């Protein structure tokens, strides 16, 4: 990749740990990289590695046809991008927003960008900072496919797997929210399990290999349950909701016997009981998705 070709230059706004990793990956790939951060002094060694340190956000975005912004949320990105001088400098250029927020905020930013003559792609980074610039990185993108294709070669410099999810600019954020839901509810369950195990004299390291065994069960279940939900079968042949509720109740009782907050499992138990109360007791746990979507709907 020739850094002398303006098409292969990029601006990175936001130099937290992830922003620095993004800028570093671009530099390592030979992309001419301009950087800027709201708080000066966060660039670390990027200048010594060849990055151009811009004095202002408008100077930074004017330096490249493509700007990648990575801040804590869209309140932060709005405070930068929607400054009149920055918006004027971005006209005719493209922004890829890799900050995290909800789908509607992404769509709102897409509408704002279109009104100001700015190309806009939204995105999500699904892997931690050390994965950036390596084959382990996973990036999701959404927005105009032609615009994505135009900048794909520069984005590929970040390494990993890049997936364009469709023209709806909010789609990457929607995937991100759903996947974060899986991650944080799973990790909350894990730390709760560690607390219960510790109360029973089982160390976290003793439990860990068996927890990994539970984790190994999940991928095929993800696929099977996706088919259940999309096909509307909600099969309870292997484990009906009535049986699932019984095991959840055991966890609640064991935790509370040790004075451990069982609100995490109580929440899961309450959802399952809601489905049972509405006549879905013989169905599988996937039926809870319908109860969540339409809590007023009884079984036909």
pLDDT value, residue 238: 86
Task: Indicate if 130 and 38 belong to the same structural domain.
Answer: yes
Tell me if 184 is assigned to some domain. Answer: no
Tell me if 173 is assigned to some domain. Answer: no
Tell me if 174 is assigned to some domain. Answer: no
Tell me if 1 is assigned to some domain. Answer: no
Tell me if 78 is assigned to some domain. Answer: yes
Task: Indicate if 214 and 87 belong to the same structural domain.
Answer: no
Q: Among the three residues 111, 141, 166, which one is the final residue of a domain in this structure? A: 166
Q: Treating both helix axes as pointing N-terminal to C-terminal, what angle do 263-275 and 241-257 enclose, rounded to 10 degrees?
A: 160
Helix (H) or strand (E) holding 103: helix 103-115
Tell me if 193 is assigned to some domain. Answer: no
Tell me if 172 is assigned to some domain. Answer: no
Task: Indicate if 20 and 102 belong to the same structural domain.
Answer: yes
Q: Among the three residues 166, 192, 214, which one is the final residue of a domain in this structure? A: 166
pLDDT in tens, 75-114: 999 999 999 999 999 999 999 999 999 999 999 999 999 9
pLDDT in tens, 265-280: 999 999 999 999 999 9
Percent of the chain with pLDDT over 90: 92
Task: Indicate if 98 and 155 belong to the same structural domain.
Answer: yes
Question: Are the C-beta atoms of 141 and 98 separated by less than 8 Å?
Answer: no
Task: Indicate if 111 and 19 belong to the same structural domain.
Answer: yes
d(CA 181, CA 201): 30
Neighbours of 297 (CB within 10 A): 10
Q: What's the CATH number where 217 sits?
A: 1.10.1040.10
pLDDT in tens, 173-232: 999 999 999 999 999 999 999 999 999 999 999 999 999 999 999 999 999 999 999 999
- Residue 57 burial by Cβ neighbours in a 10 Å radius (0-12, 13-18, 19+): buried
Task: Indicate if 27 and 84 belong to the same structural domain.
Answer: yes
Averaged pLDDT score across all residues of the chain: 95
Q: Among the three residues 141, 166, 191, which one is the final residue of a domain in this structure? A: 166
Q: What's the CATH number where 156 sits?
A: 3.40.50.720
Task: Indicate if 217 and 110 belong to the same structural domain.
Answer: no
For 90, the domain range is 6-166
pLDDT value, residue 5: 57
d(CA 68, CA 72): 13
**Domains: count for the chain:** 2
Task: Indicate if 103 and 217 belong to the same structural domain.
Answer: no
d(CA 166, CA 133): 24
DSSP secondary structure, 131-176, as one string: GTTSTT-EEEEES-HHHHHHHHHHHGGG-SEEEE--S-TTHHHHHH
Task: Indicate if 25 and 98 belong to the same structural domain.
Answer: yes
Dihedral of alpha carbons 41, 85, 102, 142, sign:
negative
Tell me if 182 is assigned to some domain. Answer: no
Task: Indicate if 36 and 95 belong to the same structural domain.
Answer: yes
Query: What are the CA-CA distances from residue 71 to residues 14, 74, 76, 89, 247 (Å)?
Result: 6, 8, 6, 19, 42
């Amino acid at each position: 990749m020739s850094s002398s070709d303006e098409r292969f230059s990029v601006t990175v706004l936001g130099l937290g740990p992830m922003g620095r990793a993004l800028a570093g990956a671009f530099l390592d790939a030979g992309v001419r990289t301009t950087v800027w951060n709201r708080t000066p002094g966060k660039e670390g060694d990027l200048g010594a590695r060849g990055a151009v340190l811009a004095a202002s956000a408008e100077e930074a975005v004017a330096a490249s046809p493509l700007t990648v912004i990575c801040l804590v949320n869209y309140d932060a990105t709005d405070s930068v991008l929607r400054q009149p001088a920055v918006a004027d400098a971005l006209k005719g250029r493209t922004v890829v927003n890799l900050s995290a927020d909800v789908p509607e905020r992404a769509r709102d930013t897409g509408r704002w960008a279109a009104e100001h003559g700015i190309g806009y792609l939204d995105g999500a980074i699904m892997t931690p900072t050390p994965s950036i610039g390596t084959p382990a990185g996973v990036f999701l993108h959404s927005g105009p496919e032609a615009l994505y294709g135009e900048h794909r070669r520069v984005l590929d410099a970040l390494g990993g797997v890049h997936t364009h999810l469709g023209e709806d600019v909010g789609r990457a954020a929607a995937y991100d929210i759903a996947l974060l839901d899986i991650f944080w509810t799973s990790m909350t369950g894990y730390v709760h399990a560690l607390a219960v195990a510790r109360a029973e004299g089982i160390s976290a390291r003793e439990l860990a290999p068996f927890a990994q065994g539970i984790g190994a069960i999940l991928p095929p279940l993800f696929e099977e349950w996706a088919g259940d939900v999309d096909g509307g079968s909600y099969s309870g042949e292997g484990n009906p909701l009535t049986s699932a509720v019984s095991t959840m109740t055991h966890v609640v009782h064991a935790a509370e016997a040790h004075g451990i907050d069982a609100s995490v499992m109580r929440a899961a138990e309450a959802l399952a009981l809601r489905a049972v109360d509405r006549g879905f007791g013989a169905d599988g746990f996937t039926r809870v998705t319908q109860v969540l979507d339409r809590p007023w709907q009884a079984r036909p």
